[in-house]
Amino acid sequence: MIPALTAFAARVRAGISAAESRPEQPAAPPAAAGAAGFSESEFNRLALELFALQFRHNPAYRRLCEARQAVPGQVRHWAEVPTVPAPAFKEFEFTCLPAAERTRVFHSSGTTGARPSQHFHCADSLALYEASLWPWLRRHFLPELPAGMARLRCAFLTPPPAQAPHSSLVHMFDTVGRNWPAAAAGGSGPAGPPPLFLGHVAADGAWTVDLPRAVACLEAACATGAPLALLGTAFSWVHLLDFLAEQDRRFRLPDGSRALETGGYKGRSRVLPRAELHARLCQQLGLPPAGVVSEYGMSELSSQAYDAVVRSGGGAGEEAPRAFRFPPWARVQIVSPESSREVADGQVGLVRVFDLANVWSVMAIQTEDLGVRRGDGFEWAGRAGAAEPRGCSLLAEEAGRRGAPARRAAPFLVRVRSRPSGVTVAERTGPGASSPARP
């Protein structure tokens, strides 16, 4: 145990609680809300303090900072804190936790035989992860809470946690599921049924959506009129939507239903641009455009960004322009790959995240995602050519450079159905899939 980190995490949690307990303003831009505990100066103070702690307790990180000659005391602003490139989590243990205290590890997947990235956790760090993920998801995906949600049912298109213990995404969904019944009941009245996991891990390790159960879930929602919240990876959505199209099935989910989409495809057999995926979600499930929200997350982070606040009531009015925004306890910068300086609004650059909830690993993460800066948020704009060198295939390099979208580094293995025969092959998605380990 490192008491200083535990104490720091407690302060971050207190800040999150303070932000959460502010009056709900679902219509206000999320970034405007909850800044109380994390004003710019307070964020800076906390970030520099955390940098000093991580420099001290995270040996792999300290070596990198020393090599870059950026050490506590010299660094004056959170944006100057040395970042760790996300793919480096595959090769090095960027953690403050001694081996004996690592009770959980989240992996991103790679191609078969590749080393996955590893984000080590202990009970305290998981508690902080959970404390960070829930309020921001709730604010965007369940803005009506705490009132009026008792009938809303919830289901995930992923395997349950027992089958995917190393997935940060599944852990996040599980946390949502655990918080759901009480939250949906709003503290009054009976709690609804617990959420369902509609996927499973097949014998070959691939994630697969249990299609009959998913269809039954959609049918039940339509039959009872109880709105449904469905959360899944982009690829699991494609899997389900393709199946519905093949069966010539369309649904009109009850008002108040909504969908959350996260992650990507990474060179999978079929890649849908996000706009097309959202359009199909609306067409095939009868959701309003404002009932679909995208999430941006990575196994190396403990906070997530969302691109909109659900408006499930029929989608009246113009939809606000979408941009991913992190909670007030994290900051994003879009930096020029040339100069590493923040780009101007509307310009494209690499996405860099500073996440105060990443207490036991590294706060400052350099992703391989490209984003267009939109104020304090960003629009996802593709991926840099895979950083991790490859030598195994000329054409893989080419494919990598083409930047198939896949930004979630959560370990989701997805079963791809090769169409139309229905023969299945194991595939994995996630940025790691583009980055086989050093050959």
Stretch that binds other proteins, among 5-13, 183-191, 264-272, 380-388 (CB under 8 A): 380-388
Stretch that binds other proteins, among 170-178, 267-275, 297-305, 366-374 (CB under 8 A): 366-374
Q: Which residues pair with 335 in a beta bridge?
A: 342, 350
In angstroms, what is the minimal distance from the CB of 215 to other proteins? 37
Among positions 56, 92, 210, 255, the unique one binding other proteins when judged by CB under 8 A: 92
Among positions 60, 185, 211, 241, the unique one binding other proteins when judged by CB under 8 A: 60
In angstroms, what is the minimal distance from the CB of 348 to other proteins? 4
Among positions 63, 250, 252, 419, the unique one binding other proteins when judged by CB under 8 A: 63
Beta carbon nearer to other proteins, 82 or 291? 82
Q: Which residues of 218-256 are buried (b: 16+ CB within 10 A; e: fewer)?
A: beebbeeebbbbbbbbbbbbbbbbbbbeeeeeebebbeb
For the record, the structure tokens of 202 come out as 């097949």
Which residues, in sequence order, are CB contacts of 18 under 8 Å at separation 6+? 36, 37
Contact 124, 357 (CB under 8 A): no
> Is residue 394 close enough to count as binding other proteins by CB under 8 A?
yes
Contact 356, 51 (CB under 8 A): no
| Footprint of other proteins on 420-439 (CB under 8 A) | 439
Contact 226, 254 (CB under 8 A): yes
> Is residue 370 close enough to count as binding other proteins by CB under 8 A?
yes
As a three-state string, the secondary structure of 9-50 is HHHHHHHHHHHHCCCCCCCCCHHHCCCHHHCHHHHHHHHHHH
Question: What SS3 state is found at 281?
Answer: helix
In angstroms, what is the minimal distance from the CB of 35 to other proteins? 30
> Is residue 398 close enough to count as binding other proteins by CB under 8 A?
yes
How far apart are alpha carbons 429 and 416 in whole angstroms? 10
> Is residue 214 close enough to count as binding other proteins by CB under 8 A?
no
Upper half-sphere CA count for residue 174 (Cβ side, 13 Å) = 17
For the record, the structure tokens of 338 come out as 């040339």
> Is residue 66 close enough to count as binding other proteins by CB under 8 A?
yes
- Give φ, ψ of 193 to 5 degrees: -70, 155
Q: At what angle do helices 40-57 and 59-68 cross, to 10 degrees?
A: 110
Beta carbon nearer to other proteins, 85 or 146? 85
> Is residue 338 close enough to count as binding other proteins by CB under 8 A?
yes
Beta carbon nearer to other proteins, 312 or 367? 367
> Is residue 366 close enough to count as binding other proteins by CB under 8 A?
yes
Q: Which residues pair with 104 in a beta bridge?
A: 121
Beta carbon nearer to other proteins, 225 or 391? 391
| DSSP string of 166-214, one letter each residue | T-HHHHHHHHHHHHHHHHHHTTSS---PPPEE-EEE-TTS-EEE-HHHH
> Is residue 192 close enough to count as binding other proteins by CB under 8 A?
no
> Is residue 301 close enough to count as binding other proteins by CB under 8 A?
no
15-24 contacts: CB < 8 A, separation 24 or more? Answer: 15/42, 15/46, 15/329, 15/356, 16/131, 16/132, 16/135, 16/327, 16/329, 16/357, 17/131, 19/135, 19/327, 19/328, 19/329, 20/135, 24/139, 24/143, 24/145
Beta carbon nearer to other proteins, 92 or 243? 92
How far apart are alpha carbons 321 and 240 in whole angstroms? 27
How far apart are alpha carbons 146 and 182 in whole angstroms? 9
Beta carbon nearer to other proteins, 65 or 310? 65
> Is residue 74 close enough to count as binding other proteins by CB under 8 A?
no
Beta carbon nearer to other proteins, 202 or 348? 348
Among positions 250, 252, 401, 419, the unique one binding other proteins when judged by CB under 8 A: 401
In angstroms, what is the minimal distance from the CB of 88 to other proteins? 4
Q: Residues binding other proteins: what is the number (CB under 8 A)? A: 44
Contact 48, 72 (CB under 8 A): yes
| Footprint of other proteins on 120-149 (CB under 8 A) | none
> Is residue 193 close enough to count as binding other proteins by CB under 8 A?
no
Beta carbon nearer to other proteins, 83 or 179? 83
Among positions 18, 31, 211, 387, the unique one binding other proteins when judged by CB under 8 A: 387
Among positions 391, 418, 419, 425, the unique one binding other proteins when judged by CB under 8 A: 391
Contact 391, 361 (CB under 8 A): no
> Is residue 93 close enough to count as binding other proteins by CB under 8 A?
no
Among positions 64, 155, 170, 359, the unique one binding other proteins when judged by CB under 8 A: 64
The rounded Cα 107 to chain-centroid distance in angstroms is 13
Stretch that binds other proteins, among 154-162, 168-176, 202-210, 363-371 (CB under 8 A): 363-371
Residues that bind other proteins in the complex, under the rule CB under 8 A: 60, 63-64, 66-68, 83-85, 87-88, 91-92, 336-340, 348-350, 366, 368, 370, 381-395, 397-398, 401, 403, 439
